[in-house]
Structure 1
Amino acid sequence: MAADAVAAPRLSLNVRYNRNVEENSGEEEENQVEILQDEEHYAELGPQRARPRNPAAGNRRCFRATAVTLGGFYLLVLAGLFIRFTLLQTRYDQLSSNYSQIQRKVSDISVENSQLQDEIKQLKCRIKEKQCPDRWKSFGCSCYFKSEQTDYWYGRRADCQMSGADLVIINNEEEQKFVTELSKDGEYWIGLLGQSQEGEYKWKWVDGSPLTETFWASGLPRGDGNYKAATCCDQQGKWTQRTYGDNKKWICEKDII
């Protein structure tokens, strides 16, 4: 039907032209020109009428162009964010490395300072070694006195206190060895007392400090509800426990002045 619809106007124009020729032959040339111009105009319009517009296709092309533009924009944003994150991560790693180096330096300084303090303390002790009173022996930064008499624990502590000292407190293995050597001729009272407190038997040094390192003989200590005191040392160089009313020799200790 489309071919018929296009051909119909051309037939109508030919008829009109023939009629005009018969009626007025003097206008022949003008009518021919007019007809040709109408045919050319129609020929230009014909293809346009044969191809109707498609709005959906145009919308799809517009959407694709917009999507491509937005996609490119998002890729640029993501690239910028990735670069920024990489720079921040690099900076963080540098700061972490610097912090670790500073921590190591601080730790090294602390160790050196502790060692220096120990050396100063030992130096002071060596300087004061000869400042212990007569009949007192020096060890570390303390002076020690070994009695030749015997008495019960509380009475002997009072005797030490009158000399500005107290019954010996053993803090480490080196001091334990020194006191063991002092007491090799028998058992001597030391500053360790055991008593029942709130249903529990506890041992404490005379200055109130708890035991951090002990040198008890096998099977000791035993708590039976009565006051007990420790002595040093048995033949194996270990602590024993006695009733505080027993008569024993004693060892006093005081700081070097």
Structure 2
Amino acid sequence: MVNLRWLRWTNSPTSSSMPVPQSKQEQEAASSCFRSKRSHQNVRLLVGLLVLCLSLLVVCVALSILYNTEPNSRPGWRSLLLDYHNISENYLILTKANANLRSDKETLKEHSAQLEEQSKVLNRTSAELMSDNLAWSSKSTKLMEKIVNLTSTNSQLTQEVERLVRNKFQLEEEKRNMSQTIRHLVDSNAQREEEQQQLSEISLLLRDELSQLKEKNRQLSEINNRYEGEAKKRTDCEKVSQSNTVLQEHNQNLQSTLMAQRQKAVEREEQMAAQINSTREALNSLNLYCPVVNHKTKERLCRTCQEGWQLFDSKCYYFSSRMLAWGSSRAWCQTQGGDLLIVNNEDKQNFVLETSRALDQGNTRLWIGLTDAEEEGNWLWVDGRSVTSGLQYWLSRPESGSEPDDWKLNDPLGEDCGHIDINEETKMSWMDASCKTLYQWICEKTV
């Protein structure tokens, strides 16, 4: 009887002990290995079936020959017939197994095609995921750069906000002081007006008294003249003379009293005029810095710097649009209560450069309060202080030398006045020039 143990695998086409691949590469390798193993097994099975069929055919032929040649040996043939029936049954089983194997082969082909299609989809998906990963990595890098820039900007804005808050508190304190000054000026102005009105009334009274004294003096002069005419006719000339003397002394006393009162009135008028002028100047300053915005309610709006000036670090700055020589520029600043710019820290240098470039008033050079006219090479600010070695912003040109160079080609006296050139893309922008040159200028004054 034929042993069919080698056909056990037909009952379970797929092995349950095979490990399940996890990644795409493992799935592809496993599927290719599985396909190659199944193809080798199918070939081997087909060869075995052919050999088995030939063996069965040979056995049948041999059995028929033996059956015809030995008809009397019946008991042996029964076993052979049984074997033949078993072989026939096994052949049918093998035929069915072959049909099952072919069906399984078709199913495996379909699974293989599906696996190949899924493999292609997975490959495309993997490529897309790799591309998306690269794109997200690039976006993540850009976002990190933006975060760093925003963090830096945020810190700068925080410092700027703190500085603005400090300036706000200073401005509020100055506003309160200005309000108190305004109230004091208004009260002083009202008091000066009352005193001026009283002085006017006193002056009118003194004028009336003076006119009365003049009238009395005239009357006394007439009486004196009349007494003198009658003294010649009368014997009491001495009494008239004594009366005349008394009247003259009284007249002199009245005139001296009148002169003293007039002098006091003049002095008081001069004091009142000085106070009125001071009050008028204060009111002019008040109108300049706190103009009336509502003429009905007399409401004022105060500002730290007058119109045309800019506030920076508790000082007001004026950037001119006209052009003058250095001396004329300084004189103009002094008429406004200030002087030419003094650069005493880096923040002010940056402020001046940024504001001048933003205004862009036509000329790139502006006078500042820097000169060595008294001693060549000894640069001083307009307040008399010397330029410190640690805070200097002289322009340096590698190809043509550094400033100051005291160039005397245009002016034989040299270059004794300092200015800044905002056309330079650096803080090192100080230059010297002839004081006669016409440049714009920058004024500075205390708030």
TM-score when normalising by structure 1: 0.48
Q: Which has the higher strand share?
A: 1
Bigger-Rg structure (1/2): 2
Relative contact order (C-alpha < 8 Å, sep 6+): which is higher?
1
Q: Which has the higher helix share?
A: 2
